[in-house]
């Protein structure tokens, strides 16, 4: 772990975000030590402490980079240096920018898996994103029966064995993205709503058991940026345009 107290000022870069746009950013989290130091300079003391809680150094470093990149991205949309941004959290742990810093209703979410991270940024719309490394020889059906809805399990079992592994992770990321967008943690059990999961089907929230109208209030998208990963984003509302932002500097 690196300890540094000084702060560095970044040259301001301004990004505009329309209400009907959803911006997707990505970053690789395994970086040289010099870049790791840069990302740590953006973090707050409580974020540094959170990094310390990870047992393995690699996981500590990946957390530092993920949060540092998040702060850098958010600074593109609001008039603040990355280290000046302050977060508050709802009772389920979803982060928001403190109202007195935001100036407008910026919403964001991040996810990372096996060294890759994704960031979703929206204005005035709740958003959630999830990325998962597709593991082979995974107990797909057994885990699906524990967490997925009955219809999702039936659909998964009906698929050819060769595509079941991918379909499982498509389903999982779509469900996680929706849960994260709702910002309610697991107070909404994963088996209380259905998503599409067949590899040839587009991402879609099909129905929710707790509110028959809720499925029409959300849009799901798959994110196909990295080979060997499944990823999805859920955003409130319809007619949303997804834009992938240049992430080369990360």
CATH assignment of the domain containing 82: 3.90.470.20
The pLDDT assigned to 2 comes to: 45
Give pLDDT, residue 250.
Answer: 80
234 within 8 A of 180, measured Cβ to Cβ = yes
Nearest residue to 173 (alpha-carbon basis) of 125, 109, 82, 101: 109
pLDDT tens, position by position, 125-177: 999 999 999 998 778 899 999 999 999 999 999 999 999 999 999 999 999 99
The reply to whether 37 falls in a domain is yes
Average pLDDT over residues 211-225: 95
Confidence of residue 247 (pLDDT cuts 50, 70, 90): confident
Whether residue 183 is found in the same domain as residue 117: no
57 & 136 share domain: no
User: How much is the pTM?
Assistant: 0.93
242 three-class SS: strand
* First-to-last C-alpha distance (Å) of the chain: 20
Mean pLDDT, rounded, of the chain: 92
With H, G, I as helix, E, B as strand and everything else as coil, classify residue 114: coil
Tens digits of per-residue pLDDT, 54-92? 999 999 999 999 999 999 999 999 988 999 999 998 888
Tokens 């020889």, residue located: 137
pLDDT, residue 6, reads 59
**What does the DSSP 8-state code read for residue 220?**
E
230 and 137 within one domain: yes
Residue 193 Cα to chain centre, angstroms: 19
Where a domain ends, among 83, 98, 122? Answer: 122
Are 25 and 66 in a shared domain? yes
Domain extent for 134: 130-240
Q: How many structural domains does the chain have?
A: 2
């Amino acid at each position: 772990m690196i300890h540094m107290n000084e702060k560095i000022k970044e040259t301001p870069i301004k990004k505009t975000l329309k209400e009907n746009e959803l911006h997707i950013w990505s970053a690789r989290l395994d970086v040289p030590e010099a870049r790791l130091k840069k990302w740590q300079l953006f973090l707050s003391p409580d974020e540094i402490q959170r990094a310390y809680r990870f047992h393995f150094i690699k996981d500590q470093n990946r957390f530092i980079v993920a949060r540092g990149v998040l702060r850098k991205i958010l600074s593109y949309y609001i008039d603040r240096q990355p280290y000046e941004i302050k977060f508050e959290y709802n009772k389920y742990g979803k982060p928001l920018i403190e109202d007195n810093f935001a100036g407008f209703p910026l919403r964001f979410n991040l996810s990372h898996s096996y060294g890759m991270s994704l960031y979703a940024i929206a204005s005035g719309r709740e958003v959630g994103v999830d990325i998962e490394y597709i593991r082979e020889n995974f107990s797909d059906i057994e885990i699906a029966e524990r967490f997925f809805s009955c219809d999702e399990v039936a659909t998964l079992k009906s698929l050819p064995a060769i595509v079941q592994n991918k379909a499982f992770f498509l389903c999982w990321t779509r469900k996680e993205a929706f849960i994260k967008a709702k910002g309610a943690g697991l107070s909404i059990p994963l088996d209380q709503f259905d998503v599409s999961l067949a590899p040839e089907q587009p991402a879609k929230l099909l129905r929710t058991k707790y509110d028959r109208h809720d499925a029409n209030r959300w849009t799901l998208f798959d994110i196909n940026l990295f080979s060997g990963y499944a990823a999805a984003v859920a955003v409130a509302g319809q007619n949303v345009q997804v834009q992938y932002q240049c992430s080369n500097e990360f």
